[in-house]
Amino acid sequence: MAAFDRYNDGSNNPPRLQIQHSLWSLIGLPMNAETEWTLDEKLQRVKAAGFEGVECWLSDADESKHKAALDQHSLRLTLGHHPHTLDDVRQTVDRAKRLGADFVFAQPLNPFVPIREAVVFLKEARKTANEEGLCFWVETHRNNIPESLNQALELVNADPEIRFTGDFSHFVVVSEFYGLEYEKAIDRMMPILSRTSHLHGRISNGEQVQVDVGDGSGQTAQFFVQIWTTVMREWRKSAGPGDVFPFASELGPPRYAITTPDGKEFSDRWEQSLVMKKLAQQAWDQSA
């Protein structure tokens, strides 16, 4: 496997799980309130709940504010971006170096780019990040490459060294997987699961991309725990000292979040983010 296939914190600690929270997922909280939490209030709650870092998409205009707030609360930074050009990648890699981000993940291009062109782009993007000492992982996400399992399998065939940020809610809704045995979802996704170095915690029921899973004990949530456990077990096979597996709770505000006709959310995304955290820990424990 190529270098930078996993995030390493430079320590001699045993391989471990690091649970993060998406900044985007904190938009519009608390639920249906007239006044949204301030950035400081959001990060206070994230830290108090035991999350170790925050995933951000930052610009020149807001990077200083967010970096200062993260440092104040001793929270680590991961950077995401949606690159359409290699200049987009370079700007984000430069920002990651400047701000001390742990790694970079991307929602690249768009799903109509031919795979052969996407592979050339992604190899150069990965090289750009790796030359600066950063991991670069490609998110499984609708409206980019790859937006479907079939596209991801084509990418793997063309570039076996590719590594993924796995948001498998997208593949589950595109493929209309329900987690039934005859679907063989995990077997079909295995070439992707075995190349995943980072997970996003959102759960689909095969029809909606993001659903409330209650306390996480039901079949829909436990199907995702099986997926995440498989990813973590594969990752552990070659993990060494200092290797860190990052998992981010990433529950989107409307229009990801389902609303009533008056636009009100009926699922408390903050409480559900705590369920995602619990399920991530369950998957990690089961992967040992």
| Residue ranges covered by each domain of the chain | 7-287
pTM: predicted TM-score of the whole model, two decimal places:
0.97
Cα(263)–Cα(254) distance, integer angstroms:
8
Q: How far is Cα of residue 81 from the mean position of the Cα atoms in its chain?
A: 12
Look up residue 54 and give its two tokens.
Answer: 């925050």
Cα(67)–Cα(51) distance, integer angstroms:
16
Give the residue carrying structure tokens 């795979």. 115
For the domain bounded by 7-287, which CATH number is listed? 3.20.20.150
pLDDT, tens digit only, all 288 positions of the chain: 446 999 999 999 999 999 999 999 999 999 999 999 999 999 999 999 999 999 999 999 999 999 999 999 999 999 999 999 999 999 999 999 999 999 999 999 999 999 999 999 999 999 999 999 999 999 999 999 999 999 999 999 999 999 999 999 999 999 999 999 999 999 999 999 999 999 999 999 999 999 999 999 999 999 999 999 999 999 999 999 999 999 999 999 999 999 999 999 999 999 999 999 999 999 999 999
Residues in the chain: 288
